[in-house]
Amino acid sequence: MSIPETESIGKTRWTQGAGDDDKSLELRIPLVLEGIRPRDLKVVVKGSGTVLSVGHGDTCLLQWRLYAPIADEIEWHVENSDLLVVAAEKKTAASWSSLLELPLKVDDPLFVTLEEMNRMFASQLPPLPPVTADGEETDAKPDAAAADDDDDDLDKLLDQAAKEVKAADADDAAPPLGYAAYIKAELQNYKSETEEIANKLKEVTAELELEGGEPEARESALKRKDILEEMLRLHDQIRALRAKPSSLSNLVQCTLLDLQKARVNIGEKGSEETEEFRSEEEKALTATQLMAHGLQQFQTDIHAALHSLRLAAIHHRHDQSIVLLYDIYSQLGSPRGAYMLLQRALDDDDLSATANQKVGELYDEGARHFLPIFPAALHFYQRAARQGSVNAMLSLAQLWLRGSTSTSMMSDEDMEAQKDMTKYHAWLDKAIDRGCGSALFVKGCMYIKGEHGVSKSYEQAKFYLDGAVTAQPQILQRAPQIPMMLENLRMEEKAGGAAAPAAPAAAAAAATSSAGARQQPGTVARRPADEAARVSNSAARLNALSTAKRGPVAESSGSSSKRDPAGSARRRRFWERAAVVATVGYGVYSLAFPIRAILLPAFYSLMMAITDIIPWLGNPNIEDSLGGF
């Protein structure tokens, strides 16, 4: 039985439970049955709950690898002879970021090749001047000895770089002026660090030359000397690499050496992180159990928590534990977490989407030890996207939209030149094809605002937001203003009169044409024009959410009333809320009567105690007044 290749979820709508303990999952999959009776379909769950298969006889109609496992027992039925509805339960209540886990092909045309990335490195990360045998830059004066002379040499280097940029016939490989300041700072950094390590070595050497010292002090001095010599060796190695032409491998190697140097500085001279099991019980635990133990111990015993997380990360290569260790070690100022994370991301035998996504974010943000270089972030994001990570696809879309990293050394002109709106939309569509609610939400907001190359369209915005709300019900909680913006767009299009519908129709036609060009059956990102008048169940749910947040009230598709819908909706909402408030208030008042009766004696006893303490609050003749009873 041949398995059809999956490229998109098409027009499938999926819904997951919104609560923390809600594991429900519903899929509404359009199918072309072509005379097949619904009772002859076979809908099963395979692959330990991660594969949903739909077949008929020996023919496989659909086989999807889901984002996470579901229970083997499912319920399904067919509506209107062309819509398969599957009700399932997730094995865990964790929210899904997409419906499918769908990796990309290695030769996908959206991927930037290594040669192209190396060309970016050559222009965005100029190499440093080479270092001679005596430790001086080749551009430096032979008799330079003072700091002022070094500064003059650096200024001369900057002037030469500026002249090369301004020259009409400048070479394309010449470093732009925006990076000249960074080069100067980097050179000064290398020099000051070399001097600091050399001074520390002199102090330790002088301490060792003294006679009569205690053995413990001498042993400590020897250890410090070994550490300083190893740091100086790694420092010189990094400096030599930076003098070579910039490339991806060069930058990654420099980052690893820099992290290793930081590890040596805290006394960790080994090239690998190690952690030993303390008992047989620990060996029997799974990676998830070790991580859970670490999280439980985090508030009470940080060392025990780190031990459990390190066992999961080192012995089980558990991605979540590695990311947690990076966060913890970063707060502690230790490079160990970053070193483990980068090593995990570079593993080609067992490619980790989580680790590569995190390393891409570090290069994107310019975190400590990670330079904010566009091609570096691009490389690691692409590795994560290749595994089907929709978060990486969204990050790639934002990267191409900005034309730079979040923290960038690039000039505005270079950022503008590197922007690529085609790749921005393409990566967004890749995430939408996998059922990513966040990508659908971004696309819907795009049509509300009419930005990034698309025209405003209520129909398109409504379509994408419907999919976003069903896929991730909590998404509107982070942007409660969106329903009102959507209603304002609807009113704006309605006020446009007869001329307004032309633009949405053109946009819908263009979207349909683009979907046909991609040769994908009913991509979620597209909506045929003949379905514009239909109101789906997901649309009704979005309308209900909008009403609950004081948003718009959706119009019925069959309504022909010519009254002002906005005024009518406001009046109806007012009286509905008034009735609800009155009913709830009376119910609370009635239900609270027994509680009041129970608490009344205690209240009077409390008041009597207070009046005894504060005499002027009470009646001094209370005993006399009650004497007759």
As a whole number of angstroms, the distance between CA 272 and CA 290 comes to 20
Residues 587 and 552 in one domain: no
pLDDT at 600 over 70: yes
Show the CA angle centred on residue 133, arms to residues 129 and 139, nearest 5°: 30
Judge whether 511 lies within some domain.
Answer: no
Quick: pLDDT tens for 197-212. Answer: 999 999 999 888 887 6
Residues 78 and 134 in one domain: no
Given 245, 276, 292, the domain boundary residue is 245
Using alpha carbons, select from 308, 316, 317 the residue that is nearest to residue 345: 317
Judge whether 378 lies within some domain.
Answer: no
Q: 223: which DSSP letter?
A: H
79-96: average pLDDT: 92
Judge whether 206 lies within some domain.
Answer: yes
Judge whether 434 lies within some domain.
Answer: no
Judge whether 547 lies within some domain.
Answer: yes
What's this model's pTM, rounded to 2 decimal places? 0.73
Given 245, 267, 296, the domain boundary residue is 245
Residues 130 and 241 in one domain: yes
Judge whether 465 lies within some domain.
Answer: yes
Residues 60 and 170 in one domain: no
CATH number at residue 19: 2.60.40.790
* Residue reference for tokens 């027992």: 73
| Backbone φ, ψ for residue 59 (5° rounding) | -105, 130
Low-confidence winner among 2-16, 123-137, 143-157, 274-288 (lowest mean pLDDT): 143-157
Residues 130 and 224 in one domain: yes
As a whole number of angstroms, the distance between CA 618 and CA 629 comes to 19
Judge whether 5 lies within some domain.
Answer: no
Distances in Å between the Cα of 416 and the Cα atoms of 154, 365, 400, 443, 606 are 29, 19, 10, 22, 73
403-420: average pLDDT: 90
Quick: pLDDT tens for 47-56. Answer: 889 999 999 8
As a whole number of angstroms, the distance between CA 206 and CA 225 comes to 11
Residues 82 and 140 in one domain: no
pLDDT at 188 over 50: yes
Residues 240 and 132 in one domain: yes
Question: What's residue 565's pLDDT?
Answer: 44
Domain count, the chain: 4
Judge whether 366 lies within some domain.
Answer: no
Quick: pLDDT tens for 469-520. Answer: 999 988 888 888 999 999 999 999 988 754 544 444 444 444 444 444 443 4
Q: How does the average pLDDT of the chain come out, rounded? A: 81
Residues 208 and 134 in one domain: yes
Residues 212 and 175 in one domain: yes
Q: Look up the domain containing 622 and give its range.
A: 581-629
pLDDT at 622 over 60: no
Given 245, 279, 299, the domain boundary residue is 245
Q: How is the beta sheet containing 83-89 ordered, strand by strand?
A: 13-16, 24-30, 83-89, 75-79
Residues 130 and 233 in one domain: yes
Quick: pLDDT tens for 223-257. Answer: 999 999 999 999 999 999 999 999 999 999 999 99
Residues 150 and 208 in one domain: yes
Residues 206 and 136 in one domain: yes
